[in-house]
Amino acid sequence: MQQTIKFPSGKVEYFFQSSFEELWEKYDRRNVVIITDDRVMGLYAEVFFGLKIVVLPTGEHSKDIDTIDRAAKELLRLEANRKAMLIGVGGGVVTDITGFLATVYMRGVAFGFVPTTLLAMADAAIGGKNGVNLGLNKNILGTFAHPEFVLYDSRFAATLPDSEWSNGFAEIIKYACIFDAAMFEELSKNNIGFYRNNASALWTLVERCVDWKNKTVLADEKETGVRKLLNFGHTAGHAIENLYELAHGEAVGIGMLIACTISEEVSGLNKNVTSELEKLLIQYHLPVHLNIDVEKTMELLRMDKKRSDDTIDYILLEQTGKAVIRPLPLTIIEKALHTYESYNRTR
Ligand SMILES: NC(=O)c1ccc[n+]([C@@H]2O[C@H](COP(=O)([O-])OP(=O)(O)OC[C@H]3O[C@@H](n4cnc5c(N)ncnc54)[C@H](O)[C@@H]3O)[C@@H](O)[C@H]2O)c1
Ligand SMILES: [Zn+2]
């Protein structure tokens, strides 16, 4: 199934329920350079046979400017010119790096994504934000640019370890919390095992997230308004992600709980919603306890991109499926971190 989304800054073709090999009906293999990581390469070497390829070390540590530097040198060695098409085949780390690299290499070359983790399929490959980290600060260097295509090939899901299913579900739960109470309800009735064994339910869910993200990005491509809602769970989440070397989804899960704690005080969220979210995260094998160092977390939050003077635009819930943006004083956030911390110690 094919779908074209036209953003003001470019159009993206979505190839759902597709196969990697279909790309060669559209793109000239000789111009293609695959960007992937060593884990995906180890699992799918035969898929890449005969293609030019740049292999990155797996993991979040790779998402930095040193990797961009090394990968760009590799592109030169492979004689990639301005006609090159970079195709990122991997998780969110690979898609972020590919998008960033493609927008700066020779002032911009074409690129596309084949997301291979649930998290990248449901979220990271969509929306045209391409970021790399600067030290512990997430996505500080980045560009806005859409890939030409995003291709979904279900074969890649077959090798995902349990932890990557949980990780992906964190972002799916995020979409349910901010936009879609019915999805929250559906997720509550099911579990990872159900979606692993029920391809049609899984891909319907993924496409629903893609839809929510595209609708939001269409309304606000450069994140000056409604797109900020997608950062639900990501403010405290980003700070603790690199501080405690958590997987992105694990950090977002805890970030969503912290945001709900604040929402109870600031936007009138019913406490039951926080408990339901906690239950759902546990159901999808995501952590809900973490002993956080409030001082260190606040230090990172002070450098957050969404901060202006002494407030940060924080995404809160009013109810399941209804999120709002509120500028919050840093003191309120600090208080919520202490509340989460002490709540943790009592459990
Ligand atoms: N640009 C955006 O809009 C956006 C949105 C959400 C997240 N992100 C970014 O995405 C990143 C997280 O993405 P991720 O969780 O996919 O991380 P990841 O890319 O590190 O992938 C997680 C692990 O899964 C492995 N893997 C990938 N595909 C596999 C497969 N098919 N089978 C087995 N193993 C496989 C990878 O090698 C890696 O070890 C973060 O850096 C986050 O900031 C970006
Ligand atoms: Zn995320």
pLDDT digits (tens, 9 = 90+) for 128-186: 999 999 988 889 999 999 999 999 999 999 999 999 999 999 999 999 999 999 999 99
306 pLDDT above the threshold of 80: no
pLDDT of residue 344: 67
Look up residue 83 and give its DSSP letter.
Answer: T
Cβ atoms 209, 171 nearer than 8 A: yes
**197: which 2 tokens?**
């064994």
- Using most ligand atoms within 8 A of CB, pick from 93, 126, 221 the residue to mutate for ligand 1: 93
- CA nearest neighbour of 119 among 62, 160, 159: 160
Cα–Cα distance for residue pair 94/205, rounded to 1 Å: 23
Cα–Cα distance for residue pair 103/308, rounded to 1 Å: 28
Cα–Cα distance for residue pair 168/203, rounded to 1 Å: 13
What Å distances lie between residue 291 and 192, 262, 282, 339, CA to CA?
26, 18, 17, 12
Q: Which ligand is closest in space to the CA of residue 165?
A: 1
Structural element, H or E, at residue 322? strand 322-329
305 pLDDT above the threshold of 80: no
Going by pLDDT thresholds of 50, 70 and 90, the confidence category of residue 342 is confident
- Using most ligand atoms within 8 A of CB, pick from 35, 43, 64, 96 the residue to mutate for ligand 1: 96
| Alpha-carbon torsion angle 303, 142, 18, 231, nearest 10 | 30
**Centroid of ligand 1 to alpha carbon of 304 (angstroms):** 22
Average confidence (pLDDT) over 228-248: 94
State the residue for tokens 């797109």.
227
**340: which 2 tokens?**
């989460």
**Centroid of ligand 2 to alpha carbon of 249 (angstroms):** 7
Look up residue 288 and give its DSSP letter.
Answer: -
Sign of the alpha-carbon dihedral angle for 164, 118, 326, 318: negative
Residues lining ligand 1, judged by CB closer than 6 Å? 37, 39-40, 43, 58-60, 63, 90-94, 96, 116-117, 119-120, 123-124, 127, 129, 139, 156, 159-160, 164, 167, 248
**Centroid of ligand 1 to alpha carbon of 328 (angstroms):** 30
Give the ligand 1 atom nearest the CA of 247: 15
pLDDT of residue 317: 98
pLDDT of residue 307: 74
**88: which 2 tokens?**
């990122």
- CA nearest neighbour of 147 among 1, 306, 17, 23: 23
- Residue 90: beta bridge partners? 115
Average confidence (pLDDT) over 247-256: 96
Average per-residue pLDDT in the chain?
95
Please tell me the least confidently modeled range out of 6-15, 186-195, 296-305. 296-305
CA-proximal residue: ligand 1, atom 22 (nearest):
91
Segments in 190-329 forming alpha helices (H): 192-196, 199-219, 235-243, 248-266, 271-283, 294-301
- Residue 150: beta bridge partners? 14, 113
Q: Which ligand is closest in space to the CA of residue 153?
A: 1
**Centroid of ligand 2 to alpha carbon of 233 (angstroms):** 8
Structural element, H or E, at residue 39? helix 38-44
**37: Cα separation from own chain's centroid:** 17
**Centroid of ligand 1 to alpha carbon of 136 (angstroms):** 17
Cβ atoms 141, 286 nearer than 8 A: no
- Residue 56: beta bridge partners? 37
% of the chain with per-residue pLDDT over 70 = 99
- Using most ligand atoms within 8 A of CB, pick from 248, 286, 305 the residue to mutate for ligand 1: 248
At 145, the amino acid letter reads A
pLDDT digits (tens, 9 = 90+) for 180-224: 999 999 999 999 999 999 999 999 999 999 999 999 999 999 999
Cα–Cα distance for residue pair 341/296, rounded to 1 Å: 13
Cα–Cα distance for residue pair 61/38, rounded to 1 Å: 13
CA-proximal residue: ligand 1, atom 18 (nearest):
91
* CA atoms in the 13 A half-sphere facing the CB of 266: 23
Cβ atoms 173, 313 nearer than 8 A: no
pLDDT digits (tens, 9 = 90+) for 52-90: 999 999 999 999 999 999 999 999 999 999 999 999 999
pLDDT of residue 161: 97
Strand order in the sheet with 307-308: 307-308, 311-319, 322-329
Average confidence (pLDDT) over 303-329: 90
331 pLDDT above the threshold of 80: yes
